[in-house]
Structure formats: structure tokens, C-alpha cells
Chain A
Amino acid sequence: MKRVLVVLAALTLISCEREERKFRQTPAEAALQKRERLVSLVAGPYTPDVKIDGPYAYNAHGISEGKRLFSWYNCVGCHANGGGGMGPPLMDERWIYGSDPEQIFATIVEGRPNGMPSFRGKIPDHQVWQLVAYVQSLSGNVPKDAAGGRQENMQVRKQEQSIPDLEPEKAPAEHP
């Protein structure tokens, strides 16, 4: 009986998504790349958007990869470690161009006026999604158990796991 329980307990680990390592993009992830609207005005009757979580929102490995890429692709050059500099800070509740995963994806891929370059064709899509998950984690918008728990470098802010969950502001922020 005891042995059966141990086996059953071990089996539950199989369904643990947190530690899953995805090295390839699945076709489903590729299909998520529909173009993001840049304005909230939509022609025709009102159609509510189906909210989609990024493929790495619940994945610890994906988020930590996003953290590595955040400095490798020099996001830190303008956004610092989330605190902002030449670019806006990413660790607050203000989202100039939207806080949905698709909107963050579009911000990275399309670029935004006044300085955010377009990374279209420069970063493989699955890595953009990893960056999206990391950017979300900077304001506590991913599950705490998947967010990063340690900082390898000098501590400039709390590690992602300890950042309080900052609800995105209701009204979109003013254009800078």
C-alpha cells in the first residue's frame, strides 16, 4: 500500500508544468502570432478579445531564459533591470502600450514610437515569448511559483518572486 502511494505521488510530478523545458516552438505557439491592433478603436460591432496567456507564463525555465535574453539582447541598455532609464520602467503598473501578453509581444516585435526598436526577424519567436513572460514577471504578473527566485548579479531590486502583484492601471497611460 505504502509503495503504491509513493508511486502515485511520483506520478503527480509528471504533470508539473513548472519544470518543463521547451526547447522547440510548437505549432500552437506559432499560431499565437496574430498581429496585434495598435489602437483600441475597432471597425464593426464590438468583439471582445480572447485573452491568451503567453506560452511561458507558467513556466519557470521560460521566464529565467527570458531574464537571460533581457540582458543578452540589451533590453537592459534602456530599461535597466526593470527600473527604466532611457526607456520607461517595466516594474510598475503603468503600461503605455498594454499589459496583455500579445500587446507586449507586439511592442517587442513591432517596436513603438519614441525609441522602442522593432525586433522583427531579429529574435526567434519563442524567445520573444520568453521575454514577454519575464517582462510580466517584473510587475508580479506571473504566478509566484514560476517567477524567478534568485538573483545572480548585484541586487538592484527584489527578485521577481517577491515583487508584489501590481494590477495594470485601468486607464491607459498618457503617451509620453
Chain B
Amino acid sequence: MTIVLMTGIQSALNPAGVQAEKIARLWDLFFWVSAVVYVLVMIFLLAALLRRRPEIVPNATSPRVRAAVSIATGLTVLTLFALLTASIFTGRSLSDVPERAIQIGVTGKQWWWHIEYDDTDKSKRITTANEITIPVGMPVTVHLQTSDVIHSFWVPNLHGKRDLIPGRRLTWTFSADRPGVYRGQCAEFCGYQHAKMALWINALPAAEYASWLEASRKSSKIPSTPEERKGQEVFMSSPCPLCHTIGGTEAAGKTGPDLTHFASRRSIGAASVPNRREFLAHWIVDAQHFKPGSLMPSMTLEPGQLEPLVVYLESLR
């Protein structure tokens, strides 16, 4: 069981960062202590069951029984106290936050994650959705807020859970020690599609991270083929730009996920389905099939409009 979980991209038992490491060690301690206690209790129970009943049953107030009860109670209290102490110390060490960290804004929405890399230089700001890219070995502080109901930010491989409370800004600092892809999940019930509110963390080596930043700061790719141009026309003349932004175009809606570099993302609909052509086409005309209740309306398109639209969106690397 443990071995299966160890390979997981969404598992607290496969820590990839300092904070997750501490939580995993605490988990190990709890696991082994509980296992030993369980085995001991079972041994005593079995012994009691197999032992022949003595001729004279000892009185409950006899010194022997009293001693046995006191020892058992003392051991239980001591064990629980030791676990409590371990838990408190782990919590304390987790609250040590490094001063210099990469700042990323994360806003929970029903049911997706809005991601923002702020910068004093406005042209260097990055807006994306459902995918956070971070450099390996650097502490990252996410500033969590919600625009509707309570959510919870949880990437088990990197850190524990942190709730997003309406009207408050909370921070959560973690780091990834090895490159990889980690999956996060909203961990507080937030409505109909709570289960389909996931996100990805891409931990990249420093050099790759720098080139990712460079690429993400650019505005969207200008359509180069006739089909892409037609797709852009379809996008602009349909309801899409009222909710979605594509950097460098007139589409500047703020209520849906930013699509400037849409094709570089791993999945659609907050990790509901992989970002592949067949899912994308289906998503556009009938998002309610994958995610009933999501705010993406089903689009009514003219014949021949869907294909170029998909081609255009797939070109937005």
C-alpha cells in the first residue's frame, strides 16, 4: 500500500519539499507508534482470551489489578503526550517562513484556480489558470484568496492544506526540492464541481523556469495560417471574449480563465480533461457534459466554425 502511494504525483507520502518532508516524517512517527500500540493491544487481548480462567477471580480493588490499570493508563497518556509534542514541534518548524520567496497570487473560484505572477513592471505580469510553475529549490509564497466560497489549497507532495476564506488574504510557503509535476486539489467542499477543481504544479530547474517566465510574459501568438486567422475571428465574434482574455488581442474578459498561453497548459476545466483536440472541441460546444454547473456555457456555433476555433486555440502556446 505504502509503496503504491510512494509513486503518486498527489501523495503526502511522496514528499518533494522541505515542508512536506516534515509532515511525512510526522506521519511516519504516528503510523509506527500506532502500529506498535495496535500489535501490543492485540497480543494482550489474545493472551487474555487464551488464558484459562483462574480458580479465584481477583477483585477489582486488588493491588495487582490496580497496578495493571495504572500502568496501562500511564503508558497511554505518555504515548499520546509524546505524539502531541511531536505534532506541536512539527507545526512550529513549519511556521518558519524564509524572508525571500517568489510571490504568486492564487484566487480560488467556483471551480478553478486563477494564478497571477505580480510584478511592479506591469508588462511583466503573468496571468494564467490551474497551473503554477515554480523553480526547484526556491521558496514560493502563494497569496490565497477566494472570490466566492471557501476553498482549500492542497498540494500533498509539497505542503499541507491551507483554507481560502472569503474576505481574507492568507499565505502559504512551500518549496520543491526536485523537478517534477505535482497535482493539487481543492480540499474543502465548495459546491457541485468541487471534485473537478484541481491544479498542477510544475517544478522546473532554475534555467527552464527563467525561460518559462520569458515565454509567458509575451503576448499571445499572432495567427499565422488562414485557418488560425479564421479561428481568431470566430473567437472574437462569439461570446468568448466577454469572459476570457487573450493577451495582445481585444479579448479582455476577466471572469473566465486567461487563455493567452492556453495551449501550453496540461488540461482543460481545472484538470477535468486532458488538453487535447477532441476534448477541447467537446468542451467548447458542451462544457456541461464534463462539468455540469460550471460557468462555461455551451456554445452554439455555425457549421465550419468549430474546427478553426480549435486550431486557433491550439496555436496559443
Residues of A within 8 A of B (CB): 21, 23-25, 72-73, 121-127
CA distance A25 to B293 in the complex (A): 13
A10–B293 Cα gap in the complex (Å)?
Answer: 24
A23 to B292, CA, bound (A): 7
Known A72-B243, A123-B242, A124-B239; contact A21-B300, beta-carbon cutoff 8 A:
no
- Whether B255 pairs with A124 at a CB distance below 8 angstroms is no
What's the Cα separation between A24 and B294 when bound, in Å? 11
Q: Are A123 and B239 in contact (CB under 8 A)?
A: yes
Q: Do the beta carbons of B298 and A24 come within 8 Å of each other?
A: yes
* Across-interface contacts of A123 in B (CB, < 8 A): 239, 242
Asked whether B220 is an interface residue with its Cβ less than 8 Å from the other chain, the reply is: no
> Do the beta carbons of B299 and A24 come within 8 Å of each other?
no
Residue in chain B with minimal CB distance to A71: B255
Compute how far the CA of A121 lies from the CA of B300 in the bound complex, rounded to whole angstroms. 9
* SS of B interface (majority): loop
| Residues in B neighbouring A24, C-beta threshold 8 A | 286, 288, 298
Cα–Cα, bound, A24→B297 (Å): 8
Contact check: which of B237, B292, B293, B297 meets A124 at CB < 8 Å? B297
Which A-B residue pairs are the 5 nearest by beta carbons?
A23-B288, A124-B297, A72-B255, A23-B292, A122-B239
**B229-258 interface code vs A (CB 8 A; 1 in, 0 out):** 000000001110011000000000001000
Taking A121-B239, A122-B239 as given, write out 12 further A-B residue pairs in contact, using a Cβ cutoff of 8 Å, ordered by the A residue number: A21-B293, A23-B288, A24-B288, A25-B298, A72-B242, A122-B238, A122-B242, A123-B242, A124-B298, A124-B299, A124-B300, A127-B297
Which residues of A sit under 8 angstroms from B242, Cβ to Cβ?
72-73, 122-123
Interchain CB contact (< 8 A) of A125 among B238, B288, B300: B300
Flag if B293 contacts A126 (CB, 8 Å).
no
* Residue on B nearest A65 in the bound complex, by CB: B295
Q: How many whole Å from A168's CB to the nearest CB in chain B?
A: 29
B285 to chain A, nearest CB (A): 11
Please, which residues of chain A bring their CB within 8 A of the CB of B300?
A: 124-125
Q: In the bound complex, what is the Cα–Cα distance between A120 and B299 (angstroms)?
A: 13
Kindly provide the distance from the CB of B256 to the nearest chain A CB, expressed in whole angstroms.
Answer: 10
**Cα of A21 to Cα of B238 in the assembled complex, Å:** 25
Cross-chain pairs A/B with CB under 8 angstroms, 23 sampled: A21-B293, A23-B288, A23-B292, A23-B293, A24-B286, A24-B288, A24-B298, A25-B298, A72-B242, A72-B243, A72-B255, A73-B242, A121-B239, A122-B238, A122-B242, A123-B239, A123-B242, A124-B239, A124-B297, A124-B299, A124-B300, A125-B300, A127-B297
In the complex formed, the residue of A with least CB distance to B291 is A23
Contacts of B237 in A (CB 8 A): 121
Q: Which residues of A contact B293 (CB under 8 A)?
A: 21, 23
Residue of B nearest to A30 (CB): B300
CB-CB contacts below 8 Å: B265-296 with A: 286, 288, 292-293
Q: How close is B234's CB to chain A, nearest CB, in angstroms?
A: 11
Bound complex: CA A72 to CA B288 (Å):
20
> How far does the Cβ of A77 sit from chain B's closest Cβ, in whole Å?
13
- Minimum CB distance partner of B192 in chain A: A21
- Please give the distance in Å from A60's CB to the nearest CB on chain B: 15
B299 partner residues in chain A, CB cutoff 8 A: 124
**Roughly how many angstroms separate A25 CA and B242 CA in the complex, as a whole number?**
20
Query: In the assembled complex, how far is the CB of residue B148 from the closest CB belonging to chain A, in whole angstroms?
Result: 9
Residue of chain A at shortest CB distance from B241? A122
Contact B297 A126 (CB under 8 A): yes
Closest Cβ neighbor of B256 among chain A residues = A72
Bound Cα distance from A33 to B212, whole angstroms: 47
Give CA–CA (A127, B297) in the complex, Å: 8
Contacts of A126 on B, CB cut-off 8 Å? Answer: 297
The complex places the Cα of A102 from the Cα of B300 at a distance, in Å, of: 20
User: How would residues 107 to 148 of chain B score, 1 for a CB under 8 Å from any chain A CB and 0 otherwise?
Assistant: 000000000000000000000000000000000000000000
State A55–B288 Cα separation when bound (angstroms).
19
A25 to B239, CA, bound (A): 16
Q: Of all chain A residues, which has the CB nearest B286? A: A24
